[in-house]
Chains A and B, each alone.
Chain A
Amino acid sequence: MAVKKFMYVNRKAPYGSVYALESLEVVLIGAAFDQDVSLAFIGDGVYELTKNQNTDAIGQKNFSPVYSALGDYDVNQIYVEKESLEERGLTLDDLQHLVWEDEDEDWAEKDSIRLVSRAELADVMAEQEIILSF
């Protein structure tokens, strides 16, 4: 099967709508296809990655722990747009620390999140062959 550059674009906050959860489900299933996968968190999408999510009182499933498993699925190119964080008064520290283990470097733990500017992310997006939006 051909290997193509897939990007999943996430621009919506979690829980107010289903898009964040169901897009994550695509990412997990898609991981089995060994494609060149990137995730982009832009705008309110950055809220999907925040720490300390507790959904008990709203009665929805807290799916934020799933993001930390992405590294195990070889999904480790996770772009977070810097301007979106700043506009929202957030820093990387407010987001989960997502990591992956590089088997080519003795399973060294590396950061999956790449904090990039809009311009840098635009360059990455322009190289993608399949862009999925939710």
Chain B
Amino acid sequence: MGLLHTVNKSPFESNTFDTCLGYAKDGSTVLLIEDGVYAATTGNSAADKIKNASGVTFAVLGPDLQARGLEGKLADGIKVVDYEGFVNLAAESDSVQSWL
């Protein structure tokens, strides 16, 4: 399954999201958590980058989306998981890389 990458920074605050995309190989999963969930919303530069990373699976932590009032703005093709889903992704992947 490859690595599970997590990103917890907004793509507009720092380069963490971009850096992560540079390291996420095909077959890996990127999970957006905390302020990282902003990259999962529609109509911004992050959305195109996600579309271009076609070999990578994207997921977003639902509780963080809800907290920030973003459920209605979720981009297509991004799986919503809860904390149990986060645990499952970590267990199913080869290893976890937390991009901070």
A130 proximity list for chain B (CB < 8 A): 95
Q: Are B3 and A126 in contact (CB under 8 A)?
A: yes
Q: Are B19 and A131 in contact (CB under 8 A)?
A: no
A43 proximity list for chain B (CB < 8 A): 15, 19
Query: Does A125 reach chain B (CB closer than 8 Å)?
Result: yes
Query: Does B28 reach chain A (CB closer than 8 Å)?
Result: yes
Query: Does A33 reach chain B (CB closer than 8 Å)?
Result: no
Q: Count the B residues whose beta carbon is within 8 Å of the partner chain — how many?
A: 17
Q: Are B19 and A42 in contact (CB under 8 A)?
A: yes
Q: Are B94 and A126 in contact (CB under 8 A)?
A: yes
Query: Does A134 reach chain B (CB closer than 8 Å)?
Result: yes
**CB of B100 to closest CB in A, whole Å:** 5
Q: Are B28 and A133 in contact (CB under 8 A)?
A: no
Query: Does A34 reach chain B (CB closer than 8 Å)?
Result: no
Query: Does A122 reach chain B (CB closer than 8 Å)?
Result: yes
A9 proximity list for chain B (CB < 8 A): 97
Query: Does B12 reach chain A (CB closer than 8 Å)?
Result: no
Residue of A nearest to B98 (CB): A133
Interface residues of B in 1-35 (CB under 8 A from A): 2-3, 15-16, 19, 22-25, 28
CA–CA, A16 and B49, complex, Å: 30
A122 proximity list for chain B (CB < 8 A): 22-25
B23 proximity list for chain A (CB < 8 A): 118, 121-122, 125
Q: Given A122-B25, A126-B2, A126-B3: A133 and B15 within 8 A (CB)?
A: no
Query: Does A50 reach chain B (CB closer than 8 Å)?
Result: no
Query: Does B99 reach chain A (CB closer than 8 Å)?
Result: yes
CA–CA, A133 and B95, complex, Å: 13
CA–CA, A9 and B2, complex, Å: 18
